[in-house]
A and B are shown apart, each in its own frame.
Chain A
């Protein structure tokens, strides 16, 4: 497991893990990073480098577990980061899949297979959109002390939805890779599958942050409110 440090060069991180680009974007770090280190980039943008590295390392490494103490001081930046993630799903990734899915379904000539997959995607989209709505309306305000009426157990139930969504994205990947039948436009299919895999990868990596960091923080914050 490689752990990135304040002295690590951003260019090296991105070249080794291009999948981390959405994380950099959510922190407002733009490409053209030159020789900048993490500490220098964070310093110039007013970001806490320890917080940035904790998010980045959790996102990239399945074995990385950041210290709890850091998160207790970082409720606001954490919820802001996760809000940006939700916005990314809502405004970029889901519309991107949908944009290619409709013409793909129309291109299917001899099977109802694709239209059923299209409906499955719409169900997944509704579930993810519902979770985003719950984050915005209930969970994040409660964590920041702005909302009222959300208990620890209800918050835990909201976070359980992450698993169901992850399962469905994984199923959609399997349907395309293993079970797709019939005649379809290969280029459109590639576009849809690539977009689904990008969403699935980002969801799984972000769910680590939600389950390992947000969930304990929720338990501590909302549990102590009772």
Chain B
């Protein structure tokens, strides 16, 4: 699951990075440029944007309504929707809402292969690397991520597919056209 962040402070960005890691997702991508401009043209699964940022440029976010989660930085009041997060919310509550949003997103996918659809782009990349016979260290080097992140992705693959061994994951990749050569 790839999260994009728009209009968040560095501290909030750091907090979401931590939360994404706890959820076993990729580190979030910051879509706010140093000059304050924001690009929503990314391949993020979910975009978390500050309420102020959305109020500032609502047109940018209209086309991605189903993928947007609003981050209300003021806090101090009950969020009006499950797709609103506030700064004073408990971390577990934020994780639960993000997880629910991710499930809804995947649940609405119109594909006969919901299992593979449920894999994030990064998990699919890791799956391909595993299938090519690489070790965790080699995968980490190849994708420029830490070994711990590779391990987290492997745990997610096992959890989503019910497959634990490297040869089983390779077989899954082969069955789903992610590998060219036979095992």
Residues of A bordering B, CB below 8 Å: 113, 116-117, 119-120, 123, 164, 167-168, 170-172, 174-175, 177-179
B164 x A170 contact (CB < 8 A): yes
Report if A116-B175 is in contact (Cβ < 8 Å); known contacts: A123-B167, A167-B168, A178-B115: yes
A119 x B175 contact (CB < 8 A): no
B183 x A171 contact (CB < 8 A): no
Does B142 sit within 8 A of A, measured CB to CB? no
Report if A168-B167 is in contact (Cβ < 8 Å); known contacts: A174-B161, A174-B162, A178-B115: yes
In the A-B complex, the 4 residue pairs with the closest CB atoms? A171-B168, A174-B162, A167-B165, A167-B164
Report if A179-B172 is in contact (Cβ < 8 Å); known contacts: A119-B183, A174-B162: yes
**Sample of 12 more A-B contacts, CB < 8 Å, known A116-B174, A117-B171, A171-B164:** A119-B183, A120-B171, A123-B167, A164-B165, A170-B162, A171-B163, A174-B162, A175-B163, A175-B168, A175-B172, A178-B161, A179-B115
A120 x B168 contact (CB < 8 A): yes
Bound-state Cα–Cα, A117 to B172, Å: 10
Q: Which residues of A contact B168 (CB under 8 A)?
A: 120, 167-168, 171-172, 174-175
* Residue in A closest to B171 when the chains form the complex, CB atoms: A120
Chain B interface residue number, banded: 10 to 19
Q: Which residues of B contact A123 (CB under 8 A)?
A: 167
Main SS of the interface on chain A?
helix
For the complex formed, measure the closest distance between the CB of A68 and the CB atoms of chain B, giving whole angstroms.
Answer: 30
Bound-state Cα–Cα, A91 to B3, Å: 53
Bound-state Cα–Cα, A178 to B159, Å: 12
* Interfacial residues of chain B within 165-182, with CB under 8 A of chain A in the complex: 165, 167-168, 171-172, 174-175
Most B-side CB within 10 Å, residue of A113, A171, A174: A171
Q: Which residues of B contact A120 (CB under 8 A)?
A: 167-168, 171
Q: Which residues of A contact B174 (CB under 8 A)?
A: 116
Bound-state Cα–Cα, A116 to B174, Å: 9
B175 x A174 contact (CB < 8 A): no
For the complex formed, measure the closest distance between the CB of A18 and the CB atoms of chain B, giving whole angstroms.
Answer: 26
* Residue in B closest to A166 when the chains form the complex, CB atoms: B164
Of B162, B165, B175, which one neighbours A113 at CB under 8 angstroms?
A: B175
* Residue in A closest to B160 when the chains form the complex, CB atoms: A178
Bound-state Cα–Cα, A177 to B161, Å: 11
Bound-state Cα–Cα, A116 to B171, Å: 7
Q: Which residues of B contact A119 (CB under 8 A)?
A: 183
Q: Which residues of B contact A170 (CB under 8 A)?
A: 162, 164
* Residue in A closest to B169 when the chains form the complex, CB atoms: A171
A168 x B175 contact (CB < 8 A): no
Q: Which residues of B contact A172 (CB under 8 A)?
A: 168
A-B contacts, 6 of them at CB < 8 A, read A164-B165, A167-B164, A171-B162, A171-B165, A178-B162, A179-B161
Q: Which residues of B contact A174 (CB under 8 A)?
A: 161-163, 168
* Residue in A closest to B172 when the chains form the complex, CB atoms: A179
Q: Which residues of B contact A167 (CB under 8 A)?
A: 164-165, 168
Q: Which residues of B contact A164 (CB under 8 A)?
A: 165
* Interfacial residues of chain B within 131-173, with CB under 8 A of chain A in the complex: 161-165, 167-168, 171-172
For the complex formed, measure the closest distance between the CB of B63 and the CB atoms of chain A, giving whole angstroms.
Answer: 35
Bound-state Cα–Cα, A168 to B174, Å: 16
Q: Which residues of A contact B163 (CB under 8 A)?
A: 171, 174-175
* Residue in A closest to B174 when the chains form the complex, CB atoms: A116
* Residue in B closest to A113 when the chains form the complex, CB atoms: B175
B171 x A175 contact (CB < 8 A): yes
For the complex formed, measure the closest distance between the CB of A24 and the CB atoms of chain B, giving whole angstroms.
Answer: 31
Q: Which residues of A contact B161 (CB under 8 A)?
A: 174, 178-179
